[in-house]
Structure 1
């Protein structure tokens, strides 16, 4: 197993694994298209020519601009996105956001389920 790489950015904590990245946006933050540039740098650094999955661990309340997903969908080696949330409101928001994302998208209750789905998706893609 590869080492875990951790980043503590102003609005998000990022945990980079071999086949997936887990992002935990900080309480009260606004995730918007402008944030994509910083995350894109990390993705290019760790997943250049490698498929991966983005897992959003929604431990805190924050807002997401749905337009963010339109840009995120353009990342060619990003196979899918998984939202981890236990609340009914969180699931409702995630299912609304799904409409703006054109790749595989899953909403689950817990991180182990998200990780299993992510690894399976990358393995099925062959990289």
Structure 2
């Protein structure tokens, strides 16, 4: 792990090819949260491809419009959702329609990590 960040709405673990984000319980993820993602991308992944992995341990909501802005991050190669919860996976299927880059849905974090590494190394 390269870095670990604790923010008022999430915890981020930053690795070489990806970052893993765990949103806090009850958060409503809004487009303005993208500003922080852009800052992290610029600081830790400048001129380097990476994948965003959201590990959905807690219950929270996402404004699907957020994906239009997230997809504009040039070096973001993909987005992964990790959850064992049926509802979270169903929501991710809807969210996927708003994102024009590779979008994976996984049950286990290690599956998402493998996918992220493959995507970045293509």
TM-score bucket (shorter structure): over 0.9
**Structure 1 gap segments, 5+ residues each:** none
Question: What TM-score, normalized by structure 2, do the two folds share?
Answer: 0.98
More helix by share: 1
Alpha-carbon distance between aligned partners in 2 of 1:17 and 1:113, rounded to the nearest angstrom:
15
Residue 33 of structure 1 aligns with which residue? Answer: 31
Q: Superposition pairs for residues 85-96 of structure 1, below 5 Å?
A: 85-96=83-94
Q: How many residues align?
A: 122
Taking only aligned residues, the RMSD between alpha carbons, in angstroms, comes to 0.7
3-state DSSP class of the match of 2:20? strand
Of 45, 48, 55 in structure 1, the residue corresponding to residue 46 of structure 2 is 48
1:38 CA displacement: 1.4
Structure 2 residue runs without a partner (length 5+): none
Give 2:20's aligned residue: 22
Q: TM-score, normalised by structure 1?
A: 0.94
